[in-house]
Amino acid sequence: MFSAMIDQEEIICLADGYKTEDLKRLRKRHLFYCPVCRCELDLKVGAVKLPHFAHKQGAACPVQHEPESSYHLKGKRLLYEWLGRQGFHPVLEPYLQEIRQRPDLLLEYGTRQVAVEFQCANLDAAAYRKRTDGFLKLGIEPLWILGGNRVRRLTRSFFQLSGFHWQFAQKRDKPPKLLFFCPEQKAFIILEHLIPFQTNKTSASLRFLPLAEAGWHDLTAWENCSPLQLKGWKENIRSFRMSTVRFLSKEAKQMAALFYEKFRLPLPFFPSEVFLPVPSGYIFAHPVYVWQGHLFLFITKHDTFRLQSAVHYMDWLVKGKRLKLRWSGQQTAADAVCEYICFLHKKGFLERKEEFYYSAGPVAPEPRLEALLKRDEHYFSE
């Protein structure tokens, strides 16, 4: 932490630019205390980490005080200085007594207050909800920025995203995106167009934004500013078809069994129609071919159907716990289902007459790899 009380009086903030020699002199002449619990703090001045305060071992403070890494300290200070250059007057590590929380930064933005949290360490779902709900209780908008050390890039356009990452992407009525900051590169990394392929493998467009070029609007504007990576999506499907799938979830195994029973097709030969990169597909906590596989089978069972019938069917699967939505709450499958059906209609797989949809031709999947790859080209070309 950068803030402390000096001699039980005024607040001193180490991020305001103290020289090492001055801090060593202060350490000899003064005592420092936590503004929250009033316990005495140690002033750490070393060669590895930035100067900072730390609770003494065994101190009882209502705010958790795990040791901060050098990476976190450096990032927090850079964000503090950057926000100042943006015209804000950020407060570093203020204690919000009503909720017993201490965000990394707090600032005024118009008529709103924003708490900026720079999260580098693991944080479980319960702790995330508690901290987020605490801010919202006070009318404070939380802005979570993950450490750049949490980016796990698999290929040019695919990333490994776990439940840890997805909890920070949840935004009501806004497309999900993830915001990272790397203090070593002094840059923001923004992942947009998050479309899961496998459980822990997600397609995304990456924007690299140097701190010196970034503005506050870049962090708070939730429209996507980069193009969808269709080429990478198509290459990934090709790789999927040419490889042996080693690990499958229970739901994926069930879907593989359903397709083999109906069409005698192994998983790599699933039709192109169950790999569609629809924007709202993130709502399902399953591989893309699992939830779209259910819709494809629904279409094959009906000569005609209404869009609302497909939505009701997927909601029924969710209520029966055969499908799982990524987040609990008010989210439904409706947007993803509508986007899926419209995609198939646009590509000519489905036709529409009034409110009814029906297959434009044979729905039996193509069992030959060459024909599948050609069909992939039809669906996933730029």
Q: Are 116 and 105 in contact (CB under 8 A)?
A: yes
pLDDT for 381 equals 83
Residue 212 structure tokens? 């010196």
Q: Are 287 and 299 in contact (CB under 8 A)?
A: no
pTM of the complete model: 0.86
Nearest to 281 by CA among 220, 221, 234, 342: 342
Question: Measured between alpha carbons, how far is 254 from 135 in angstroms, rounded to an integer?
Answer: 41
pLDDT for 33 equals 80
pLDDT for 65 equals 59
Q: How many CA within 13 A on the CB side of residue 212?
A: 1
Calculate the CA dihedral of residues 76, 184, 130, 165 and round it to 10 degrees. 160
Digit-coded pLDDT (tens) for 258-302: 999 999 999 999 999 999 999 999 999 999 999 999 999 999 999
Q: How many CA within 13 A on the CB side of residue 84?
A: 10
Nearest to 311 by CA among 281, 326, 294, 333: 333
pLDDT for 64 equals 67
DSSP 3-state of 44:
strand
Q: Are 331 and 283 in contact (CB under 8 A)?
A: yes
Question: Measured between alpha carbons, how far is 39 from 8 in angstroms, rounded to an integer?
Answer: 10
Residues in CB range of 9: below 8 A, 6 or more apart? none
Question: Measured between alpha carbons, how far is 156 from 239 in angstroms, rounded to an integer?
Answer: 14
pLDDT for 224 equals 65
Q: How far apart are the first and last CA of the chain?
A: 48
Nearest to 82 by CA among 8, 182, 174: 182
Q: Are 104 and 27 in contact (CB under 8 A)?
A: no
Question: Measured between alpha carbons, how far is 255 from 198 in angstroms, rounded to an integer?
Answer: 14
Nearest to 240 by CA among 163, 165, 155, 166: 155
Question: Which ranges in the chain are annotated with CATH 3.40.1350.10?
Answer: 69-227
Q: Are 11 and 37 in contact (CB under 8 A)?
A: no
Regions of the chain short of the pLDDT cut 50:
none
Q: Are 281 and 336 in contact (CB under 8 A)?
A: yes
Look at the block and give the residue holding tokens 């169950």: 274
Digit-coded pLDDT (tens) for 95-154: 898 998 999 999 999 899 999 999 999 999 999 999 999 999 999 999 999 999 999 999
Question: Measured between alpha carbons, how far is 205 from 217 in angstroms, rounded to an integer?
Answer: 18
User: How many other CB atoms are found less than 10 A from the CB of residue 322?
Assistant: 13
Residue 93 Rama label (left phi>0; alpha psi -120 to 50; beta): left
Topology of the domain covering 69-227: Trna Endonuclease; Chain: A, domain 1 (3.40.1350)
Question: Measured between alpha carbons, how far is 331 from 65 in angstroms, rounded to an integer?
Answer: 35
Strand partners, 188: 181, 209
Strand partners, 189: 180, 208
